[in-house]
Amino acid sequence: MMKEANKKSQGQTGGGSGGQSGASSSPAPSSSEDTPGKAMMGVTRAVAVLRLIGAAPEPGLRSRDISEALDMHKTSTSRMLSTLIGLGVVDRDRNRCYRISDDFRASFGTPLTTTRLRQAARPALGMLSERLEDVAFLSVPNGLDSLCVSRNIGSYPIQALSLNVGGRRPLGVGAGSLALLAWEQEGERNRLIEMQRGRLGKYRVDVEDIAVAVEQARADGYTDLPSFVVQGMTGMGMPVRDPSGVVVGALSVAAISERLGGSRRDLAVSALQEAAAMVEEQLAAGAGRPVDQNDNDGRDGEAV
């Protein structure tokens, strides 16, 4: 009996030892220790993805581009992007391109994306070109320049097509460009005007002309530039503000000068005011989401 009991005792001890050995090979303790490290790795990857997408030009990046750029497995990339979409940080358009969401940008006070602004402005541009029968433009600030991002051509036989989508002008040169400049904060406005020195050689204006035009525009509430950029051509413009009141774009129309004088000048002012209000209302309502990159934004027949 004693021998049998000893055997049982030794067997239990051996079994316990074996159980401890099995427990020592379990990854549980090390897994617990690694959890913070894994969480930090996930955060690091998420930030890397956001940096990459945020720096990409529109319309954004596809999952494959992100996976290759960051050397991430496609499954991990897909899972990360799905999580970011669920958090409202990233949007995906119909072409499966990922971009930082407008809501996330807005939470940091960053400007609206050009795509969202174009979409919000589309009905207004259509109204302008239809009512005035002349060409209408949407421009946005871009460094020391204005950048034309959308254009609608009217039905009048002679169109003032001096600016294509993708075309740039120094701030203050042109009706839309002047509207972007005129309603900047005073200190910034003066700085931008001064920085145009040396950049206006191919235009018919200098910084003093721009400064005078800015003051006149602020007094009138719109820009009116007969023969300012091109002889015999007039441009008129109006700023567009985001919901916080910041000027994010400008609407403008252009025509041969006799078409924007007299009663038609008043008509143009009224139409521009209505168009700007339309865009601002669309922006306040969150227009432009989700983004449809298949739309050509009214650019048929344009040279870009």
| pLDDT at res. 26 | 43
CA distance 296 to 304: 12
| pLDDT at res. 132 | 96
For residue 214, CA distances in Å to 144, 171, 173, 251, 283 come to: 15, 11, 11, 16, 26
pLDDT, tens digit, 9 for 90 and up, residues 120-177 = 999 999 999 999 999 999 999 988 999 998 999 999 999 888 788 888 899 999 999 9
pTM score: 0.61
Half-sphere exposure of 104 (CA within 13 A, CB side): 14
pLDDT, tens digit, 9 for 90 and up, residues 245-254 = 989 999 999 9
Instruction: Identify the segments of the chain with pLDDT beneath 70.
Output: 1-34, 36-37, 57-59, 102-103, 105-113, 287-304
% of the chain beyond a pLDDT of 70: 77
Pairing of strands 98-100, 223-226: unpaired
CA distance 253 to 270: 12
Angle at 138 between CA 50 and CA 129, to 5 degrees: 140
| pLDDT at res. 234 | 94
| pLDDT at res. 58 | 60
| pLDDT at res. 34 | 56
| pLDDT at res. 289 | 42
